[in-house]
Amino acid sequence: MYELVNNRSDKVEDTNFEAATQPIFNSLPSIASYLEFEHNLSSQSPQLQTPIDWPLDGKLTLNWVQSLMSVFDWASRNLEPTQLPNVFLVEVFDSLALFNSKILHKKANCVTINNLALESTVVVVGDLHGQLHDLFFLLHDAGFPSENRFFVFNGDYVDRGAWGLESFLILLAWKVLMPKRVYLLRGNHESKYCTSVYGFEKEVLTKYNDRGKHVYCKCLGCFEGPNVIPGDVLWSDPSISPGLSPNIERGIGLLWGPDCTEDFLKNCQLKLIIRSHEGPDARENRPGLGGMDEGYTIDHIVESGKLITLFSAPDYP
Active site residues: 189
Chain-centroid distance of CA 266 in Å reads 27
What's the angle, vertex CA 2, arms to CA 196 and CA 269, rounded to 5? Answer: 150
Question: What is the SS3 assignment for 40?
Answer: helix
CB 283 within 8 Å of CB 291: yes
Element (H, E) at 100: helix 90-104
Residue 46 amino acid letter? P
CA–CA separation, 45 vs 50, rounded Å?
10
Distance of CA 254 to the CA centre of its chain: 23
Q: What is the dihedral of CA 141, 147, 151, 152, to 10 degrees?
A: -160
Give yes or no for a contact between 58 and 94, defined as CB atoms under 8 angstroms apart: no
As a whole number of angstroms, the distance between CA 3 and CA 153 comes to 9
Following DSSP, what letter does each residue of 189-250 receive, concatenated?
A: TSSHHHHHHSSHHHHHHHHHGGGHHHHHHHHHHHH-S--HHHHHHHT-EE-SSSSEEE-TTT
Closest CA to 15 of 180, 212, 247: 180
How far is Cα of residue 122 from the mean position of the Cα atoms in its chain?
Answer: 14
**Rounded to an integer, what distance in angstroms lies between the CA atom of residue 105 and that of residue 274?**
24
CA angle 143–282–123, rounded 5-degree value: 15
